[in-house]
Amino acid sequence: MEIIIKNDAESGSNAAARAIAKLVRENPNAVLGMATGSTPLNLYNELIRMHQEEGLDFSSVTTFNLDEYIGLSKDHEQSYHRFMWDNLFHHININPDNVHIPDGMATDIPAACSAYEKAIVQAGGIDIQVLGIGSDGHVGFNEPTSSFASRTRIKTLTRQTVADNARFFEGDESQVPRHCITMGIGTIMNARMNLMLAFGEGKSEAVAAMVEGPVSSIVPASILQHHPTAKIFIDEAAATKLRLADYYRWTYEGKPEWQQDA
């Protein structure tokens, strides 16, 4: 794991955006895994800026989103379809045919999940997966005790996640869907690079458990310790519970220039 501690969410997000831009410039047919929630908003704003001001070209890029609520239509205000189009896709030159987001209204959910897995394989696998972490340590919507071998499937949200996400549903927990479709942990681990973003004091415990705790399905994101290319972008507030924070800063500051892709 590479732990990149930046002063604030904006500079952490900009560093992650640079890693994505580098890939897209080198490989216009790159396959990106996308995430939703509050965390990636700065990252998406920076990618939009790079598209508009620097001509970053997404016309041949393919995307796969991590997850979607079950029971929300694509145009529901809180669906992750809507989130992605509102916050990124409408503002860049992505080809809509290349966008993949799990279908929360699928009538045959197991079939839709296995088709999603097949589509990822057919696209050549995910080059860079963007991730966030839940305050309960989830990654995607893989809640605690999710199998590390899991693939795209239905999951039940924890009460903690429902409470955390109620802010998007006017604070009303009863409006938050209980079920979702999420890429599995096995799916995420197949990505060639994982970029995890976590900002704010509220994420500090989950970040410490992910980075320095034991690898355990009770903290699903801790599996990233086993990923060969996982970069963790955090701000100072999210870094407060890391025992080796000084070491991570020292390592990042001392990186040879040719390695500084983020």
DSSP for 98-165, please give it: GEE---TT-SSHHHHHHHHHHHHHHTT--SEEEEEB-TTS-BTTB-TT--TT--SEEEEPPHHHHHHH
Radius of gyration of the chain from its Cα atoms, rounded to whole angstroms: 17
Does residue 133 bind ligand PGA (CB under 6 A)?
Answer: yes
> Of 35-43, 49-57, 80-88, 97-105, which segment contacts ligand PGA by CB under 6 A?
35-43
The smaller minimum CB distance to ligand PGA, of residues 130 and 193, is found at 130
- Other C-beta atoms closer than 10 Å to the C-beta of 172 total 9
User: Any catalytic annotation for residue 226?
Assistant: no
CB of 98 to ligand PGA, least distance (A): 24
The smaller minimum CB distance to ligand PGA, of residues 56 and 210, is found at 210
For residue 168 the two structure tokens come to 């998007």
Does residue 104 bind ligand PGA (CB under 6 A)?
Answer: no
Decide: residue 134, CB within 10 A, 0-12 exposed, 13-18 middle, 19+ buried. Answer: buried
Q: Annotated catalytic residue: which of 51, 81, 138, 227?
A: 138
For residue 48 the two structure tokens come to 């939009």
User: Any catalytic annotation for residue 136?
Assistant: yes
Does residue 65 bind ligand PGA (CB under 6 A)?
Answer: no
Among the listed residues 2, 8, 37, 148, the single contact to ligand PGA using CB under 6 A? 37
Q: Annotated catalytic residue: which of 46, 68, 127, 143?
A: 143
Decide: residue 115, CB within 10 A, 0-12 exposed, 13-18 middle, 19+ buried. Answer: middle
User: Any catalytic annotation for residue 235?
Assistant: no
| Beta-sheet strand order (sheet of 153-156) | 67-69, 179-182, 153-156
Among the listed residues 4, 13, 24, 39, the single contact to ligand PGA using CB under 6 A? 39
> Of 53-61, 129-137, 175-183, 236-244, which segment contacts ligand PGA by CB under 6 A?
129-137
User: Any catalytic annotation for residue 67?
Assistant: yes
Among the listed residues 38, 160, 217, 225, the single contact to ligand PGA using CB under 6 A? 38
Q: β-pairing, 62-65 with 31-34?
A: parallel
> Of 37-45, 49-57, 121-129, 207-215, which segment contacts ligand PGA by CB under 6 A?
37-45
Does residue 132 bind ligand PGA (CB under 6 A)?
Answer: yes
Judge whether 222 and 215 are in contact, CB under 8 Å: yes
Closest CA to 16 of 251, 256, 230: 230
Does residue 78 bind ligand PGA (CB under 6 A)?
Answer: no
CB of 33 to ligand PGA, least distance (A): 13
- Looking up tokens 């394989």 gives 121
Binding residues for ligand PGA, per CB under 6 A? 37-39, 132-134
Catalytic site positions:
67, 136, 138, 143
